[in-house]
Each structure stands twice: as structure tokens, then as C-alpha cells.
Amino acid sequence: MPKPGLIENYWMDEAMHKNVEDHELSRGQLCYLAHHTCQWWNAVFIQAKRFITVFEQNCGSEPWDADGDEMAFLPERMFLITAINHALEYTQKLNIELQRSQNFTLQNVLDEVFSSISKEDIKNLRDMNEHSLDYLVGEGHHQNQFISRVEKENIRIETSAAVTFLHGDVKLFLLGNVPIDKLLLIMKKQQPIVKEITREIFYKNWG
């Protein structure tokens, strides 16, 4: 079992928040980072299943309907976005730590994920949904990026971080401007590598 206080110390260390990239982790912190990274990757696919189930059940229902399916859609969407952002953010930090010892395994994972999907778009999607009220009234930090245009084949749409868009004919499934189906497929392919390396780090630094 984890040693008492290590999780609290990891999150309460103020330097971690101010300069995450440069802060070299202790063995205990590295152990927990590996553990949390794997949990967030697992959470992505648990939450994706929940989101897609609610999305399919929605079928135009409204939040004040008796079954309340529509009421669950927004939270499940937000939980999925959060899980994806945390999984990739934690992987980036763990990758920095591994590269201190010339291990580039997670760099290859990140390169694969970000080869066709923008890191900035994923971060913006999370931030804009987390601070949705700010963007609703036009006061978001990146308000000029809130609305974006997506083109695929002969489809051209204007979307925002608050929009979920599905077009079966051209196989376009967007959260904001992020092709969520494509992202999940890439992450699913990389998940075994992440699980293997995080398990190795966890037990190497445990105790």
C-alpha cells in the first residue's frame, strides 16, 4: 500500500505547480505519477463507454424529461474530456522524467497521439469546458479560439468547444474541433505501452 503522506505531499508541493517540467521528481513522487498516469488512461476508456452510451440514448431528449438522459450527457462529456486531458498531461510529465535517463518510450507514444491531433486543441477543449461560463459571456482567456471551422471532404462546419458533432456519412465525430473517435483509437493502440511502462516505473520506485 502507498506510504501515508506521499500523495498529499505530491499535490501540495507548490513548486510542482509553478514549474512542473523542470521539477525533478523523487522516487516516491515518480511512483505515484506512474500510478496516476495509468489510472487516467484506464479512465479514458471507461468514460468513453459511458459517454457513448448516453450519447446514443439521448435521441433528442431534454433535461426535464422523466428519464433525464439528456441531463447526464453534459457531465459524461466533461468527465471524458477531463480524463483525456489528465492522461496526456501526466504522460507528458512522466516522459520528461524518463528522458532524464535517456528513455524515450513515452515520447513515441506522445508523438503518435499528437501526430494528427493538436496538443493545444485538446488543452483548449478541456479549459474552455471547465470555464464554460467565461466563454458563454465572451470573457474566456482564448475567446478568439472558442469558435473554429472544420472541413472534411465536402463538409464544412463552424463549431465551438461546447459542441458535439456527429456526421456518419463522412465519419466525423467531434468534441469541439477534436475528432474524438480518431483520438480514442490512437490512445487505445498506445494504452498497452503506457500500462507496461507505468507498471515498471511503479514497482522500480516502490518502497
What is the C-alpha to C-alpha distance for residues 61 and 35, in angstroms, rounded to an integer?
Answer: 39
In this structure, the chain runs to a length of 207
- pLDDT for 4: 41
What is the C-alpha to C-alpha distance for residues 109 and 72, in angstroms, rounded to an integer?
Answer: 32
- pLDDT for 90: 95
- pLDDT for 191: 97
Please choose, from the candidates 108, 199, 124, the residue with its C-alpha nearest in 3D space to the C-alpha of residue 160. Answer: 124
∠ at Cα 76 (172, 168), nearest 5°?
15
Alpha helix (H) ranges present in the chain? 6-12, 14-18, 27-58, 69-99, 105-114, 119-130, 132-136, 180-205
- pLDDT for 136: 64
- pLDDT for 7: 41
Amino acid at 28: G
What is the C-alpha to C-alpha distance for residues 202 and 4, in angstroms, rounded to an integer?
Answer: 16
User: Hey, where are the domains in the chain?
Assistant: 6-145+182-205
- pLDDT for 118: 86
- pLDDT for 92: 94
- pLDDT for 19: 62
- pLDDT for 173: 79
- pLDDT for 45: 97
- pLDDT for 170: 55
- pLDDT for 178: 85
Residue 62, Cα to own-chain centre: how many angstroms? 27
Please choose, from the candidates 202, 203, 207, the residue with its C-alpha nearest in 3D space to the C-alpha of residue 36. Answer: 202
- pLDDT for 159: 66
- pLDDT for 139: 64
- The residue whose grid cell reads 516505473 is 201
Contact 133, 161 (CB under 8 A): no
Low-confidence ranges of the chain (pLDDT < 70): 1-19, 59-61, 63-64, 66-71, 132-133, 135-153, 155, 157-163, 167-171
Residue 151, Cα to own-chain centre: how many angstroms? 23
What is the C-alpha to C-alpha distance for residues 38 and 192, in angstroms, rounded to an integer?
Answer: 10
The model's pTM is 0.80
